[in-house]
Amino acid sequence: MSVDKESPSGGSTRRDDEAWAKPTPALEVTILPEGAINRNVAGRRVTGPIQGFGRMWQKTYRVRMSGVDIDPTEVIKTWKEHFPEFWPEGNRFYGPLTGIAPGEVAVLNLSMPGRLKLSTGVMVMYADDESFTFMTPEGHMFAGWITFSAFKEGRSTVAQAQVLIRASDPLYELGLALGGHEVEDRFWQTTLTTLAARFGVEDPAPETRYLLVDRKRQWRMAKNVWHNAGVRSGFYMMGMPARWASKRLKRKSPPYTSEGSSQNSDL
Amino acid sequence: MTEATTATSVRRLNDQISVIDIKGEITAASESTLMDAFNEASGDATKAVILNFGGLDYMNSSGIGLLVTLLVRAQRQHQELLAYGLNEHYRQIFELTRLDEAIGIHDTEDSATAAAGR
């Protein structure tokens, strides 16, 4: 038996060769500004929704650029160039100087409850003129992909962030159930509101849509908790006072050679 | 959204194995075409659905997301999802996205069919 089905006609002349990152066994982080906490990124593998633990969600956040005549490609260009500026206050995105391009890795320092700074990252999986997609490393709260796109709907341009994710491990899954979904929703709604405001949209009203793609939890992935960036960032922050004190002590006490003479302490 | 051109045809090799031949593009706009083809390929006795990507010209990240949705549907129905006909570029994308850990990749339809029967 054979059934032919086709979506709207018009041959494909598009190319995707340059838009995709190349496979990588482990992430590498290049130069970072001072003050950035670079933990849980370098050496980690990237993950997708297949490798996560929790239920699989597709969440779509959209904002309509009402009253503004702007081309979708212009929205994506600006979004790529100024990505960190649209993030909610207290969260930092340390992207590469080369900008958002396939294969590039960014370090994220995210504000968590209890003044915890969660350090994790993303890799640019895909980027073209109409959209770009991040994928997450092991230890990130989500295993999955986040796609940012812009397109025409009727006369308006719509900017969209769409996540296809599972919580990476049981701890994060619990966190999502205890209000994590709402925190994430607010994060992307704020991002889209700021983006729309940049283009002069008055009173942007982001919409949110949820789709539970898979209600099953993947218990064989519970072991992902070993990489949990929240737990590891917590331990790292708890050790900060000790590391600070140790540095101070090293700076104060002059090191001696075996002959007992003082040496330059910049060792 | 940008319109995509996706053509699919469904072949039933036997009661347990079906093949979906995919031509053109896989993007967000391909959703209904792909899902309809999957419904056509899935019968009560179907144990494996094989995707033939030999005619694939273009795929973006929304397209790879659609394949994840397809995989979840197959798993829900206790069906195996396999693929063949991927060129080197699309093989690399499956490797990058780690979809190759869940969808068996094969060189030919014969080898995919043999694997489906195992």
- Domains of chain A, residue spans: 46-216
Mean pLDDT, rounded, for A130-151: 95
Domain A46-216 has CATH 1.20.1250.20: no
CB-based contact, B7 to chain A, within 8 Å: yes
The amino acid occupying position A116 is L
> Are B57 and A12 inside 8 Å of each other by CB?
yes
Minimal Cα distance from A126: which residue of B?
A: B61
- Chain A residue closest in CA terms to B64: A145
Q: Reply yes or no on whether the pLDDT at A194 is more than 90.
A: yes
> Nearest-CA distance from B30 to chain A in Å?
7
Note whether A125 contacts B76, CB cutoff 8 Å: no
Q: Compute φ and ψ for A75, nearest 5 degrees.
A: -60, -45
Which of A5, A20, A164 lies at the smallest CB-CB distance from B65? A164
pLDDT at site B90: 96
Q: What number of H helices and E strands is found in chain B?
A: 4, 5
Residue A259: predicted pLDDT: 43
Task: Quote ipTM for the complex.
Answer: 0.92
Encode pLDDT of A23-63 as tens digits. Answer: 999 998 887 777 787 888 889 999 999 999 999 999 999 99
A7: nearest CB among B4, B40, B97: B4
Answer with the residue of higher pLDDT: B19 or A119.
B19
Report residue B32: phi and psi, to 5°: -65, -40
Task: Note whether A94 and A106 are within 8 A (CB).
Answer: yes
Closest in B37, B65, B101 to A5, CB measured = B37
Distance CA A171, CA A223 (A): 11
- B73 in Cβ contact with B38 (< 8 Å): yes
- The residues, any chain, with a CB within 8 Å of residue B73's CB and separated by 6 or more, are B35, B38
A83 has pLDDT over 90: yes
Strands A2-6 and A46-47, bridge-based pairing: unpaired
Structure tokens at B117: 């029967």
Strand partners, A165: A57, A144
| Residue A102 contacts residue A127 (beta carbons within 8 Å) | yes
How high is the pLDDT of residue A118? 84
Of A5, A11, A126, the CB nearest to B33: A5
Which among B5, B95, B96 is the nearest to A10, CB-wise?
B5
* CATH H superfamily, domain B6-112: STAS domain (3.30.750.24)
B48-59: strand order across its sheet: A2-6, B6-12, B17-26, B48-59, B80-84, B104-106
- Give yes or no for residue A1 having a pLDDT over 90: no
In sequence order, the β-bridge partners of residue A209 are A60
Three-state SS annotation for A174-187: HHHHHHHHHHHHHH
Among A243-247, A255-259, B50-54, B59-63, the range scoring the smallest mean pLDDT is: A255-259
Provide, rounded to the nearest whole percent, the portion of chain A with pLDDT above 90. Answer: 63
Q: Would you list the domain boundaries of chain B? A: 6-112
Taking CA–CA distances from A18, the nearest residue in chain B reads B89
Contact A7/B32, CB-based, under 8 Å? yes
Which residues on chain B are in Cβ contact (under 8 Å) with A47? 98
Looking at residues A201-213, what average pLDDT do you find?
95
Q: What is the pLDDT of residue A15?
A: 82
pLDDT of residue B4: 56
Q: Which of residues 57-86 of A touch B (CB under 8 A)?
A: 58
CA distance A24 to A4: 37
Contact B92 A22 (CB under 8 A): yes
A-chain residues near B36 (CB < 8 A): 5
Interface touch A213/B33, C-beta < 8 Å? no
Mean pLDDT across A182-197: 96
So what's the pLDDT on residue A112?
76
CA of B53, closest CA in chain A: separation in Å?
A: 15
User: Is the pLDDT at A10 greater than 50, yes or no?
Assistant: no
Residues of chain B with pLDDT under 50: none
pLDDT of residue A267: 28
Q: pLDDT at residue A255 above 70?
A: no
Nearest CA in chain A to B89: A17
Beta strands B17-26; B6-12: pairing state: antiparallel
The whole-number average pLDDT for the span A194-205 is 95
Contact B89 A17 (CB under 8 A): yes
Would you say residue A258 has pLDDT above 50? no
Span A6-31, average pLDDT: 77
- Chain B: closest CA distance from residue A82 (Å): 21
* Chain A CB within 8 Å of residue B4 CB: yes
**Per DSSP, what are the bridge partners of residue A189?**
none
pTM of the predicted model, to two decimals?
A: 0.86
> Could you tell me if A243 and A56 are in contact, meaning their C-beta atoms sit under 8 angstroms apart?
no
B78 close contact with A: CB closer than 8 A: no
Whether chain A has a CB inside 8 Å of the CB on B93: the answer is: yes
